[in-house]
């Protein structure tokens, strides 16, 4: 029984990681995307998110099946390329599992799964509150953004960055957390961007604790290239029944090339 629950947990963590990367990358593609909701309730985490095929390929290539763990988070770097060919790191999103912080009272299938759904919904909103998002939306034709994936702690100069724990939730196998390092003020040549004073307020309580009493969140949810390979297509999310008890039929549903997943801006 315990081994079965562990397999379920690893599967949820894997798909949460994949969907998290898709949400973050797609939010930096610079354009609004609208898709139809799926009334059947068989999408992972009850969010219809179309998987960009090139992002999926990059996920498999970069992570090689590794899951987030203590000291080895899965990270998504968002970078902006300059006219000189250099890259500036704007954000680092990290998803990590801390096995030392457990809550044995939490059922993986019946309690953790809805919490992960809420975590992903929160990410859809939070990913659209940072300076990098505003930059990608206002300069989509003139700036080039890239992303990079890796499974290790971020190794960047954090001067000028803010660190925020966006969301976390616990179960019998540990605490899953989503955090963000973001460059607070971004200045373009001859075009200083306004100080994003409201951004930190949006992300401020430093963590969103996900429990059974959370209200339904309001959901607002290309050319873009990956780093070092080229990156994304188009994608979005629409509403599906909140916290449907129907789980995806099997792992292959996620891997199909013709996915029914989506995200709304």
Q: Tell me the CATH number at 89.
A: 3.30.900.10
Q: Is 4 within a domain?
A: no
What is the per-residue pLDDT for 190?
52
Residue scoring higher pLDDT (1 or 111):
111
Based on the structure, what is the number of domains in the chain?
1
What is the per-residue pLDDT for 144?
83
Q: Is 13 within a domain?
A: no
- Stretch 27-51: mean pLDDT: 74
What is the per-residue pLDDT for 174?
95
Q: Which residues pair with 163 in a beta bridge?
A: 181
Q: Is 205 within a domain?
A: yes
Tokens of 184: 């607070």
Residue scoring higher pLDDT (131 or 249):
131
- Give the single-character DSSP code of 246: P
- Give the single-character DSSP code of 148: E
Q: Residue 119: which domain range?
A: 53-231
Place of tokens 């959901």: 219
Under a CB-based contact definition with an 8 Å cutoff, are residues 224 and 231 in contact?
yes
Lowest-pLDDT range, 49-58, 94-103, 144-153, 231-240? 231-240
- Stretch 74-96: mean pLDDT: 88
Q: Is 260 within a domain?
A: no
This prediction's pTM: 0.71
Q: Is 201 within a domain?
A: yes
Beta-strand relationship, 174-183 and 87-98? antiparallel
Tokens of 130: 């940072």
Can you say how many angstroms the Cα of residue 160 is from the centroid of all Cα atoms in its chain? 22
Tokens of 153: 């702690």
Sign (positive or negative) of CA dihedral 228, 12, 130, 181: negative
pLDDT score of 203 more than 70: no
Backbone angles phi, psi at 220, to 5 degrees: -80, -35
Q: Is 99 within a domain?
A: yes
């Amino acid at each position: 029984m315990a081994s079965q629950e562990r397999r379920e947990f690893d599967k949820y963590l894997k798909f949460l990681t994949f969907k998290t990367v898709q949400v973050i990358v797609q939010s930096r593609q610079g354009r609004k995307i609208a898709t139809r909701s799926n009334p059947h309730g068989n999408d992972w985490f009850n969010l219809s998110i179309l998987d960009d095929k090139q992002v999926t390929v990059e996920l498999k290539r970069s992570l090689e099946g590794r899951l987030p763990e203590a000291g080895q988070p899965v990270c998504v770097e968002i970078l902006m390329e300059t006219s000189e060919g250099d890259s500036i790191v704007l954000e680092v999103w990290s998803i990590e599992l801390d096995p030392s912080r457990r809550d044995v009272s939490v059922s993986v299938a019946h309690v953790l799964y809805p919490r992960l759904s809420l975590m992903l919904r929160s990410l859809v909103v939070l990913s659209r509150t940072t300076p990098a998002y505003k930059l990608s939306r206002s300069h989509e034709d003139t700036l080039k953004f890239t992303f990079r994936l890796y499974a290790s702690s971020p190794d960047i100069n954090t001067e000028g960055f803010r660190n925020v724990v966006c969301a976390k939730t616990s179960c019998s196998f540990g605490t899953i957390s989503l955090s963000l390092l973001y460059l607070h003020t971004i200045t373009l040549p001859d075009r200083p961007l306004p100080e994003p004073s409201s951004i930190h307020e949006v992300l401020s309580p430093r963590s969103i604790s996900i429990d059974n009493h959370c209200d339904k969140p309001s959901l607002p949810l290309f050319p873009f290239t990956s780093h070092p390979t080229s990156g994304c297509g188009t994608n979005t999310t629409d509403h599906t029944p909140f916290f449907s008890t129907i789980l995806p039929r099997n792992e292959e549903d996620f891997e199909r090339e013709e996915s029914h997943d989506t995200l709304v801006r």
